[in-house]
Chains A and B, each alone.
Chain A
Amino acid sequence: MFAGIDIGSRSTELVLQKEGTVIHRAQLPTTFSPLEQCRKLLEGYSPECLVATGYGRELVKTLGLPYRVEAITEIKAHALGAHALFPDARTVLDIGGQDTKAISLNPKGGVLRFEMNDRCAAGTGKFLEYTANVFQISIEEFGAYALKGSNPPVINSMCTVFAETEATSLMAQGALPEDIALALHTSVVRRTSTMLKRVGLAFPLVFSGGVANNACIRKLLQEDCGEQGILCVAEEPDMCGAYGASLWAERCCS
């Protein structure tokens, strides 16, 4: 049994698998004590090898676990995960809590080129979470809410804080909240689309990370890619990184 753990800014995921077949999946919020959360997730399991990824990847080594622990970057983990789930995939888009990554893959699943967002939250899950607050709804409901919009105004600001201000101003001007919500989703996709073009977007495109759970972003991304563009979303898109890491754990031991 091989384990992968993805310690992101917002949530931590654990995947245990053997020869590609998933045995166990679990998720916890990362919180202020990521190590404690990792310990909880790993309790009762003793894989042959654990590979950590995500921004907390080096932290796991300090846990003193009685099995082999390695670390890889989230770029590599997502590339491995996407290639295993969709072997034809040529591009990966991962939108997580504080990072957005666009990765172009060669036919064997190797990373050819990648782009990450700058050091701020623009265009990430955090952006949606923050702006969802304006509507006093949860991040889980935000996508469905935005899908009700039909006539989105243009949100110009890339900055999360300024975008919130812009949304508030639009409300004051009488724009419908659903339309503003749709506009905020559109701005995320617009930014993402630029990144995808920079790495040389080719299809099929795998969309992973927590934001791939958002139906509105999925719809807008598909529209942006055009009808010909094949968009693949895993069953549990937030698990892709941890799954990729677990595959690497297996490769490390063979």
Chain B
Amino acid sequence: MSDAAHTEMWEKLNLDISAHDGLLEVLGKFYGDIYLSQENRLKGMEYLDFVLSEVHGLRIKELQDAKATGKKIIGTFCVFVPEELTLAANAVHVGLCSGADAGTDEAEKLVPRNTCALIKSFIGFKLARLCPFTESCDLVVGETTCDGKKKAYEAFGKLVPMHVMEVPQTKTDDAKQLFKSEVLRYKAALEELTGVEITVENLRKSIAIVNEKRKALQRLSRLRAADPAPISGRDALLINQVSFYDDPVRFTQSINTLCDQIEERIAQGEGVVPSGTKRLLLSGCPMAVPNWKLPYVMESSNAVIVGEESCIGSRNIRDLVDESGDCMDEMLDALVDRYMKIDCACFTPNDERMVNVENMVSELKADGVVHYALSFCQPYAHEAIKLQNVLSEKGIPMLSVETGYSMEDVEQLKTRVEAFVEMLD
């Protein structure tokens, strides 16, 4: 696709062209510094480099082409929105990234200043007219995971067509019933928007597609248990990030190809870092594109990240939907069961997350945990304290980090992370 064709498409989407050019330039430089500078990278990452370089280009073109055939585009912010239903309704499911500071001044007119960077980012991107994904959406689906988001959606709903799903705060039977009614309400909203009836057949097919995607990511996650680490944490994070907006079937195929290469590499005893490099588990808040600051700092501190205990990571891929159901009600129950296993900090008491972190530490042979909470994210900040206590009883070292998207604290972060890695010796 030529530059002119890109620009024409962005103009049609009413983007602020000069500001958007500026954003792509910064993003390109950032990507070059953090990604392309890596040594011993896997050949299969070229696919991811290409997808990212065309994130606002060819992928958006694909969305426009899909729209031209009558398909609808659904934008989401959270792993609680069942992609299976979206695909069954013959719609396209994309995650809206919100991983960079943009339009912050404008966003702060709609939400309080002490709101997390992720929320400010999705509002800022909309107000500054910088995100072609948001502008392509026929419906944006929010969810009531935290107070910040649910209140922000009230304001955001005035800017885009919006559907908000209620995510319960506990995992009681009543809570599961509530979530089931919300799944049904989302199904009805999709059917009305797309004019496509969600049937046992199309839902069965889409459950299989999404399960296959999660299986490919699970395979990748398992391979990272090898020492030396066969893939950098940055690359693995990027793969998880791309899983939210790439075509699911194409993505699954590419990741399985990449995993084949990783298996070869492991068989040869090769890795991206020398054997014995300190292995860290990154745990906590989601890291949306291009929020790569902390992973970069960690992997520049004589350490390698071996897992992401995060929504953009294990929380999104750990559980599959049971495919044995053969009527609509059983299939929907299977969906509800799967989604209600997500160990998001918005739940109380959420003790299963503590167990899941511990399991990841042992399965991935991590030497320590770096817990990441976005500044002003209350649920994860609370759980950082809880997790520190749980892990310290088990003798697992943990560093708690609170930060946002700005680069002002990179040096301070470096000192903390380096000191933590030194401590693991």
Chain A residues near B (Cβ < 8 Å): 55, 72-76, 99, 110-114, 116, 119
* A119 in contact with B409 given A73-B422, A76-B422 (CB within 8 Å): yes
Pick the interface stretch among B127-135, B145-153, B410-418.
B410-418
Closest to B388 in A: A113
CB distance from B202 to the nearest CB of A (A): 51
CB distance from A150 to the nearest CB of B (A): 37
Closest to A54 in B: B415
In chain B, positions 389-420 with a C-beta closer than 8 Å to chain A are 397, 408-409, 411-412, 415-416, 418-419
14 A–B contacts from the bound complex (CB under 8 Å): A55-B411, A72-B422, A73-B418, A73-B419, A73-B422, A74-B419, A75-B415, A76-B419, A99-B415, A112-B423, A114-B419, A114-B423, A116-B415, A119-B412
Inter-subunit contact B422/A75 (CB<8 Å)? yes
User: In the complex, what distance in Å separates the CA atom of A72 from the CA atom of B411?
Assistant: 14
Q: B409, B419, B422 — which one has the most chain A CB atoms within 10 A of its CB?
A: B419
Main secondary structure of the interface of A (DSSP, over half): mixed
| In the A-B complex, the 5 residue pairs with the closest CB atoms | A75-B419, A73-B419, A111-B423, A76-B422, A73-B418
Inter-subunit contact B418/A116 (CB<8 Å)? no
User: In the complex, what distance in Å separates the CA atom of A110 from the CA atom of B418?
Assistant: 15
**Residue numbers in A under 8 Å from B415 (CB-CB):** 55, 73-75, 99, 116
Chain B interfacial residues counted at CB < 8 A:
11
**Residue numbers in B under 8 Å from A72 (CB-CB):** 422
**Residue numbers in A under 8 Å from B412 (CB-CB):** 116, 119
Inter-subunit contact B409/A111 (CB<8 Å)? no
User: In the complex, what distance in Å separates the CA atom of A116 from the CA atom of B418?
Assistant: 13
**Scoring B residues 84 to 99 as 1 if CB is less than 8 Å from chain A, else 0, what string do you get?**
0000000000000000
Q: B408, B411, B423 — which one has the most chain A CB atoms within 10 A of its CB?
A: B423
User: In the complex, what distance in Å separates the CA atom of A114 from the CA atom of B416?
Assistant: 9
Given A75-B422, A75-B423, A119-B408, 7 extra CB contacts under 8 A: A73-B418, A73-B419, A75-B419, A76-B419, A76-B422, A111-B419, A112-B423
User: In the complex, what distance in Å separates the CA atom of A99 from the CA atom of B414?
Assistant: 14
Inter-subunit contact A110/B423 (CB<8 Å)? yes
Closest to B423 in A: A111
CB distance from B398 to the nearest CB of A (A): 9
User: In the complex, what distance in Å separates the CA atom of A157 from the CA atom of B415?
Assistant: 26
Closest to A71 in B: B418
User: In the complex, what distance in Å separates the CA atom of A23 from the CA atom of B408?
Assistant: 39
Inter-subunit contact A116/B422 (CB<8 Å)? no
User: In the complex, what distance in Å separates the CA atom of A112 from the CA atom of B415?
Assistant: 16
**Residue numbers in B under 8 Å from A99 (CB-CB):** 415
User: In the complex, what distance in Å separates the CA atom of A30 from the CA atom of B412?
Assistant: 18
**Residue numbers in A under 8 Å from B419 (CB-CB):** 73-76, 111, 114
**Residue numbers in B under 8 Å from A55 (CB-CB):** 411, 415
* A116 in contact with B408 given A72-B422, A110-B423, A111-B423 (CB within 8 Å): no
**Scoring B residues 146 to 169 as 1 if CB is less than 8 Å from chain A, else 0, what string do you get?**
000000000000000000000000
Inter-subunit contact A116/B416 (CB<8 Å)? yes
Closest to A98 in B: B412
**Residue numbers in A under 8 Å from B411 (CB-CB):** 55
**Residue numbers in B under 8 Å from A111 (CB-CB):** 419, 422-423
Closest to B425 in A: A110
User: In the complex, what distance in Å separates the CA atom of A229 from the CA atom of B411?
Assistant: 34
CB distance from A9 to the nearest CB of B (A): 11
User: In the complex, what distance in Å separates the CA atom of A116 from the CA atom of B415?
Assistant: 10
Closest to A116 in B: B416
CB distance from A169 to the nearest CB of B (A): 25
User: In the complex, what distance in Å separates the CA atom of A75 from the CA atom of B422?
Assistant: 9
User: In the complex, what distance in Å separates the CA atom of A110 from the CA atom of B397?
Assistant: 13
User: In the complex, what distance in Å separates the CA atom of A241 from the CA atom of B301?
Assistant: 20
**Residue numbers in B under 8 Å from A112 (CB-CB):** 423
User: In the complex, what distance in Å separates the CA atom of A76 from the CA atom of B302?
Assistant: 15
